[in-house]
Amino acid sequence: MTTKYLLPLLFSLCTSMPALADAQARLSSFVSQTKGLKAQFTQTVLDRNGRKTQESSGTLYFSRPGKFRWVYQKPYAQLLVGDGKRLWIYDEDLDQVTVRKLDLAIGDSPAALLAGENDIEKRFHLKDAGEKDGLEWVEAAPKSKEGSFEMVRLGFKGDNLQAMELKDNFGQTTLLRFSGLERNPSLGGSLFRFTPPKGADVISDK
């Protein structure tokens, strides 16, 4: 799975929140209390047999609703920007920009879980998923069967979201680990704007 197709999953971003026992209350708290964040991330993709197929790292910024900047720094430079209406994906090596309507790119993905409106119960089945690797986990599965992922698990330690595990409909698993989280930081509006570089090939779904 390439990074451009991971965006609807990766936009389920992280922050700290009250440690609540109930999964629904935990996620509702995130949506109601978190307006933005900044964090470092590492990302690992495993195939259905558990073999590592991709590893990357970078920085993310997030501002509800619908604005984000996801910067892949290693091993390849790639930038994903959501400006509230459109999703911009810039592949530096290919000098190519892909543009999609943000609502179509997100759909019933984990983005709708944490960054959308306060309608979590309408879109997802939620449950506590116990403890593993020193973290307490919450699981969410989309009610719609038309999305690209099967479920997402969020791992908490104390009040902080430390990890996410996302399983898609092809059996692949994406593991995310977060560090240096800053909740509700001051973020400039320019972070969430993107202008295609001169000469770049632009592909748009209009």
End-to-end CA distance of the chain: 24
Domain regions of the chain by residue span: 3-184
Q: What is the structure's pLDDT at 152?
A: 85
Question: What does the DSSP assignment read for 112-124?
Answer: HHHTS-S-HHHHE
Examine the pLDDT at 191 and tell me if it is beyond 70: yes
Question: What does the DSSP assignment read for 130-173?
Answer: EEETTEEEEEEEES-SSSSEEEEEEEEETTEEEEEEEEETTS-E
Instruction: Kindly report, residue by residue over 84-111, the tens digit of the pLDDT.
Output: 888 899 999 999 999 988 776 665 555 5
Instruction: Kindly report, residue by residue over 64-81, the tens digit of the pLDDT.
Output: 777 888 899 888 889 988
Indicate the CATH number for domain 3-184.
2.50.20.10
Integer Cα distance of 181 and 63 in angstroms: 14
Instruction: Choose between 150 and 55: higher pLDDT.
Output: 55
Please give the average per-residue pLDDT across 142-165, as a whole number. Answer: 78
Q: Percentage of the chain with pLDDT > 90?
A: 26
Please give the average per-residue pLDDT across 179-202, as a whole number. Answer: 92
Please name the residue ranges forming H helices in the chain: 3-10, 23-33, 102-106, 110-114, 120-123
Examine the pLDDT at 180 and tell me if it is beyond 70: yes
Angle at 87 between CA 61 and CA 98, to 5 degrees: 120
